[in-house]
Structure 1
Amino acid sequence: MANHISFVRAIPPPRVVTLAGTPSPVQIDLSRTALIIVDMQNDFLHPEGWFPARGISPAPLLPAIPKCEQAAKLARAHGVPVIWLNWGVRPDCGNIPPGILERGNAYGNNRPGYAEPSKIEGRGRILVRGDWGSQTLDDFTVDEADYTVHKHRLSGFWDSELDALLRRLQVSTLLFAGVNIDRCVFSTLQDASFLGYDCILLEDACATPSPDFVIKGVMYLLHLLYGVSATCTDLENALAADTPDTTAASISS
Structure 2
Amino acid sequence: MPSPIKTLFLVMDMMNDLVAEDGFSAQTYAVQVKERGVLEKTRAAIAAARAAGALVGYVRVGFSADYREAPANSPIFSGARKNGIFQLGTRGTEIHPALAPQPGDFDIVKHRVSPFYATSLEAILRAHRIERIVMSGVSTNGVVHSGAREAHDRDYDAVILEDCCAGVSADEHMHALACLGRYARIVSSTEFDWAA
TM tier, smaller:
0.7 to 0.9
Figure out how many residues of one structure are paired with residues of the other and give that number.
192
- 4+ runs deviating over 4 angstroms: none
- Contact 1:129-1:150 at 8 Å conserved across structures: no
1:164 is displaced (CA, Å) by 1.0
What is the 5 A alignment of 1:193-232? 193-212=152-171, 214-223=172-181, 225-232=182-189
The gaps in structure 1 that reach 5 residues or longer are 1-14, 16-29, 107-112, 118-125, 243-253
Question: How many angstroms apart in 1 are the aligned matches of 2:149 and 2:174?
Answer: 16
- Contact 2:32-2:170 at 8 Å conserved across structures: no
Q: Does the C-alpha gap of structure 1 residues 36 and 151 become closer, same or farther in structure 2, counting only changes over 3 Å?
A: same
Question: How many angstroms apart in 2 are the aligned matches of 1:163 and 1:115?
Answer: 31
1:66 is displaced (CA, Å) by 0.7
Counterpart of 1:192 in structure 2 is 151
Q: Does the C-alpha gap of structure 1 residues 203 and 160 become closer, same or farther in structure 2, counting only changes over 3 Å?
A: same
Counterpart of 2:118 in structure 1 is 159
Deviations 1:208-237, CA, capped at 9 Å, x for gaps: 12342x3333223222x20211111112xx
Counterpart among 96, 116, 122 of residue 70 in structure 2 = 96
Q: 2:32 aligned with 1:60, yes or no?
A: yes
Counterpart of 1:51 in structure 2 is 25
Amino acid at match of 2:145: F
Q: 2:81 aligned with 1:114, yes or no?
A: yes
Question: How many angstroms apart in 1 are the aligned matches of 2:63 and 2:129?
Answer: 27
Question: How many angstroms apart in 2 are the aligned matches of 1:180 and 1:217?
Answer: 12
Higher Rg: 1
- Contact 2:21-2:31 at 8 Å conserved across structures: no
- Contact 1:91-1:115 at 8 Å conserved across structures: no
Q: Give the TM-score taking structure 2 as reference length.
A: 0.88
Q: Give the TM-score taking structure 1 as reference length.
A: 0.69
Deviations 1:107-134, CA, capped at 9 Å, x for gaps: xxxxxx33864xxxxxxxx212222111
